[in-house]
Amino acid sequence: MSANPASTSPWRLCVAPMMDWTDRHCRYFHRLLSPRARLYTEMLTTGALLHGDVPRHLDFSAEEPPLALQLGGSDPHELAACARLALRWGYDEANLNCGCSSPRVQRGAFDVCLMAEPGLVRDCVRAMRDAVSLPVTVKHRIGVDRIESYAFVRDFVGTVGEGGCSVFIVHARNAWLDGLSPKRNREVPPLRHDTVARLKSDFPQWTFVVNGGLVERPQIERELARADGVMLGRAAYHDPWRLIEWEGCAFASEPPLRSRDAVEAQMVRYMERCERDGTPWTAIARHMMGLRLGEPGARRWRQVWSDHRLRELPPRDVMQRAQSALSADTSACTATVDAVAD
């Protein structure tokens, strides 16, 4: 089964919302590597947005779209107000998170608990849809705790669809609310990608995006052949260079920047631009630690970019040091190979 590159779903390749990770700087970086992926913000709660510093939460760079704002909340009026802000700020989508298992958010009666209240999710979606012309989408899991029945997630999707949601991003594992940390909840409950394929065949008129544990090209091609899109999270963050491969797999297209050096240099120009608004380069560099993964000298390169003692240096100088560390390591490797060859 091979992927169908002719599909033009806007959700064909997505980078997952990840708290503390996919901030605007991370998204700018990912955009350099994948011109067409749909990017997601970190989850923002309705409370933080409605009572907080809206520009600080919502501003993004012109390069970032297509871009979705992910919201956490369970009050239809508040979610509608946040969706209006998303529209006003220029986001391409408002996404409601029903798939997170953090105890902090469970207490707030939203996120994964919402899967047990499909009627409420339907009302939230309807209120958001009535407020804005943007796509309103839902990210969810396939079950809660030990409920393994397909009927649970099928009925959830059917009910939420009645509210006007036609795009479902499915993290294909259950959320276990009893005692597993959010991190373990992304690792321990077994993945069941087939469930998403089954949802797609039961609701062919709607868009389904498969999420969870996708890394390798054959896996991605298989899911693209039986659903509308894939969403990658941790793999995109830890090994961002592979976004180029995934982009090629999803769209059969090439990125404009084809070398790691070019991407690093572009990030330095971006750091210089952000410095004028008072953002230290360290806040940006932390997201590109995976750029050299697998290259000789990658560890030394990372050590330079994460050395906070260098924070007063201009980022261009830090890049020079990092690249020297990389090439020192490379020439050490070459010398060893030469010595062995001799």
Ligand X SMILES: Cc1cc2nc3c(=O)[nH]c(=O)nc-3n(C[C@H](O)[C@H](O)[C@H](O)COP(=O)(O)O)c2cc1C
Q: Which positions lie near ligand X, rule CB under 6 A?
A: 16-21, 42-43, 70, 97, 99-100, 139, 171, 186, 211-214, 232-235
Residues in the chain: 342
- Which one of 14, 26, 98, 100 is the catalytic residue? 100
- Apex 212 CA angle, 210 and 215, nearest 5: 95
Distance between alpha carbon 222 and the CA centroid of its chain, in Å?
Answer: 20
Q: For residue 139, give the 3-state DSSP assignment.
A: strand
Closer by beta carbon to ligand X, 218 or else 316: 218
- Contacts with 68 (C-beta within 8 Å, 6 or more apart), sequence order: 17, 38, 39, 40, 41, 91, 92, 93, 94, 95, 137
Going along the chain, which residue ranges are E strands?
13-15, 38-40, 44-45, 67-72, 93-98, 136-140, 143-144, 167-171, 174-175, 207-211, 229-232
Beta carbon of residue 77, minimum distance to ligand X (angstroms, whole number):
22
Closer by beta carbon to ligand X, 219 or else 279: 219
Q: Hey, what are 120's tokens?
A: 């409420």
Beta carbon of residue 229, minimum distance to ligand X (angstroms, whole number):
13
Q: For residue 69, give the 3-state DSSP assignment.
A: strand
Q: Hey, what are 207's tokens?
A: 């868009």
Closer by beta carbon to ligand X, 30 or else 139: 139
Beta carbon of residue 18, minimum distance to ligand X (angstroms, whole number):
4
Beta carbon of residue 247, minimum distance to ligand X (angstroms, whole number):
16
Beta carbon of residue 102, minimum distance to ligand X (angstroms, whole number):
9
Would you call 249 a catalytic residue per the annotation?
no
Closer by beta carbon to ligand X, 42 or else 264: 42
Query: Dihedral (C-alpha) 312, 22, 173, 165: value to the nearest 10 degrees?
Result: 170
Closer by beta carbon to ligand X, 70 or else 323: 70
CA distance 111 to 320: 44
Q: Which are the catalytic amino acids?
A: 100
